[in-house]
Amino acid sequence: MHEEQLIKTAVIQFQHQAGDKKYNLMMMEKFIGQAAIEGVKILAFPEMCITGYWHVPKLSVAGVEALAEPVETGPSVGLIRALAMKHQMLIGAGLIERAPDGRLYNAYVACMPDGSLHTHRKLHAFEHPAISSGEGFTVFDTPWGVKVGILICWDNNLVENVRATALLGADILLAPHQTGGTLSRSPHGMKPIPLELWAQRAERKAEITAAFKGPSGREWLMRWLPARAHDNGLFILFSNGVGADDDEVRTGNAMILDPYGRIVRETWAAADAMVCAELDLSLIPMCTGRRWMSGRRPELYKILTERQGYERDAITVRFSEALPGIKQQD
């Protein structure tokens, strides 16, 4: 039972600076202040927004290690945690985590109003060979009587991950990304957006807007993201980078979706932006996805937990030109 039927949320898109934590945290602090004025309770920043993102694959192992911080004692999370407590807000932020055992993770930390932390480690990490993939799902309670889950970027592309998160009780899914304008190996997937178009965005506004709305931006998201919300009966807070990110252009498209897969609020602005929306939690209990899920027949789904022999690691899947090798059933 949800203690509150309405909750104010916000998602951020902003252009981080590669490796410049001071600048990125300054931008985040500015957005947090704006969100506090708006009465936001849950605020979602993009994936790896503290450290920067697409320059990381080009770094040495030592370079990645230099960017990493422990979650519990690191200065970056320490700042966000203090602001979460000050404004009584859940604030989600992405960084490279250095775990107690020395392993590195693409992590997303939900800083809670009481100072506690919930950390999700990306399940399918491909950013650098030194970055490990996580081994578990992340769903937790909040002070507002609603459960929140976290899946980072490519985690959301595999339908099993979103369904598992929903089955663990998530009502709201934080879905931080760095996407749009990437070079997909799929012939009809996303393709790069020219860097010069981003550089000339002020004078070529119609062109940059069309690119952000097109098949390498919003149009691609609309092929799958609403289904994740609808089929699992949860709200999705989609945050993203925007603008030049090393040799690619992120398309922003920050948006909030309801449990019917409808877009509550969004932006396609080629600029840093915050998108706010009040979520009506009363939509969840009888939404289509929740009703469908109650008709599940788990005894039929054993195949979903069995390896088929063609599974590959995330880096190979993301960058290989080889065919996936999915077996065809006779």
Name the residue ranges covered by the structural domains of the chain: 6-319
The DSSP bridge pattern shows strands 42-44 and 90-98 to be: parallel
Tell me the per-residue pLDDT of 161-198, one tens digit each, with 9 for 90 and over. Answer: 999 999 999 999 999 999 999 999 999 999 999 999 99
In DSSP notation, 62-114 reads HHHHHH-B-TTT-HHHHHHHHHHHHHT-EEEEEEEEE-TTS-EEEEEEEE-TT
Query: Residue 3's pLDDT is what?
Result: 59
Residue type, 229: A
Predicted confidence (pLDDT) at residue 116 exceeds the cutoff of 80 = yes
- Res 94: pLDDT: 98
Amino acid at 310: Y
Nearest of 156, 175, 169, 165 to residue 239 by alpha carbon: 175
Q: What 8-state DSSP symbol labels residue 181?
A: S
Q: What is the predicted pLDDT for the residue at 1?
A: 46
pLDDT for residue 326 is more than 80: no
- pLDDT of 257 strictly over 60: yes
Query: CA 245 to CA 29: how far, in whole Å?
Result: 21
Examine the pLDDT at 324 and tell me if it is beyond 90. no
Topology (CATH) of 6-319: Nitrilase/N-carbamoyl-D-aminoacid amidohydrolase (3.60.110)
Alpha-helical regions (H) of the chain:
21-38, 61-67, 75-87, 159-167, 195-199, 205-213, 218-221, 225-232, 288-293, 314-319
Provide the whole-model pTM: 0.96
Mean pLDDT of 317-329: 80
The string of pLDDT tens digits covering residues 196-240 is: 999 999 999 999 999 999 999 999 999 999 999 999 999 999 999
Q: How confident is the model at residue 320 (pLDDT cuts 50, 70, 90)?
A: confident
Share of the chain above pLDDT 70, in %: 98
Distance CA 318, CA 292 (A): 32
DSSP for 318-330, please give it.
HH--S---PPPP-
